[in-house]
Chains A and B, each alone.
Chain A
Amino acid sequence: MWQILAGQPHPRAALKLLHSQPALEFAPDRWMLRTAFCRVLTAMWLFVAGPACALDLPGSAVRLAWLKMPGVTDPTTSLTAWAQEIRLRTSIDIAGQPVGIRPEDPALFNYPLLYWGGDKAPAHLSDQAVAALRQHLSTGGMLFIDNTGRTEASQAFDQGVRHELARLFPQPLQRVAPTHVLYRSFYRLDRPVGRRADAHELEGIRVGNQFAVLYGRNDLAGALARQAVGGYALAVIPGGETQREQAFRLGVNLVMYALCLDYKDDHTHVMHLLRTRRGAKALAAPAPPPPPILAPPPEP
């Protein structure tokens, strides 16, 4: 919990975060004590910092946020692992702990990148939530929807999501072409995978020139989830650890796409890639070996 507070630059945001984290892995009595203590500290900071700090502003670091709605499983362990991998592999300044946020919460706009996962029919979004999400996604935000069905994509979740998205945008979900910049935003990817690999493509809704909504049906969060004691929480099928690595790469590419948009489509990069790209890599390629001792020079 202290990590959450330390990552929040503003006391008001930290305070909201305290309210929004009821189900972490702490015993209730200790949770209550910590909450009270943090509230006292926050109040003291607010008093010292003055009224200007009462504004609720996000920090400069990227923070993953998941939509907290009835029936949604807390994906914190998955998103934490996702954030850790991004920090390890890229130059993105990303906060380690994700945050859950209700769509109606005004603080939704502190988090341009949202995650919505589920394996059962989602709850009906309120009109206020629909308006807020529409505003969020229309002005630069991005939502990744993850169908976390166990053995296959959840039909109930799929139908529910499509229904709610129809309330958000008039345009339907469309297929994300394999040539889209999303598959080149950091790693070269041939297809999207997660804990499963049965859906061969992502779908999305464009707002302007970029996808504001992306929908994957391979349980990306399941591939990333870790156990509290270490190790991955769920087996990845059918590709095993190689597939898990590809899932991590998809996660990296998703965040890169959210932050860089079509950067890799820039002419200079396309020309370079045309010159240097080797043959398409097979999904079954083994996971990369342990990190090399000698790091390559910094690259953009």
Chain B
Amino acid sequence: MAAEKLERILKLLAELLNASGPLTADELRTKIGMYPENLVAFRKQFSRDKAALKEMGVPLDVISVGSSAKSAEAYFLDNKRYYLPDLDLTDAELSQLNYASNSIHLIGELTEEEALRKLGGYSKQSVDLSASASIGDVDTFNRLFEALSQRKRASFSYASKQRLIEPYLLQFKGEHWYLTGREIETDSVKSFRTDRISDLSIDDTFDAYSLPDAFSGADFSYFSYGDDDEVEAKVLIDKSHVQWVESNLDVPIELNENGDGIAIFVVKNYESFISRVLLLLDHAEILEPDFLRQKLIERLKRLQDSSEGSNA
């Protein structure tokens, strides 16, 4: 039974790949010669076979043919979209892709074994990394990737607002994936956490926009955005907190002899920056500029005064 199904679907694929134009279901039934005579049974089986091809990624299109009174659905396979372009992958390149596939674990439903077979073979070679990253909602991801690959606009709901975006890049940072793109309404480049995107729809138009010459992903240093005059702040970080600052604030740190570090931040939002430094309690100290140091001191004194007043 399985062999018969396999032969039938392969014959269907052979007909579609060799066809000079769209073929109706009836024409395909006649050419393949393996479908049941009963019309209902044929439609059921034909529908399942189409689904199997589509699930594999076969770009099967349906168009209407004939006069409007007697129109019928016809099936068409765009060979340009079906065939993998000649990538000319070397053995070393295929081996590296296999190595990446086996070494990194994306938590979700994605698998690239099929992809690697298409590219020339999958091998379960030895692995020494096994790093993992969460992929979240795979369907959202695939559609966003399609949008940015084909330069199609994406609309979705985010933070209770409907957005229309021209996607530029997908970025993994801090254990999450982010989409960065231009928001049409505000004409500004914004980043969105992909697992917070809902009601996603992708426009059909290819090449609806061009990528800018240069673009970058989300910047998680909120104090880098703001209306304050830009300054460079020099902060002394205790040895015990260097690792945390490096991994959470994404800033290079120069270590001194005793292991403490000096970090230089570009600041455009003073209050936000002071809040970040205060998270480090007395394990960090703003050295420069003096006015930022004084602002931090003033904020702490106001907190003390307020606390004394309310608890008096």
Do the two shown chains form a genuine complex with each other? Answer: no
Which residues of B line the A interface, CB within 8 A?
none
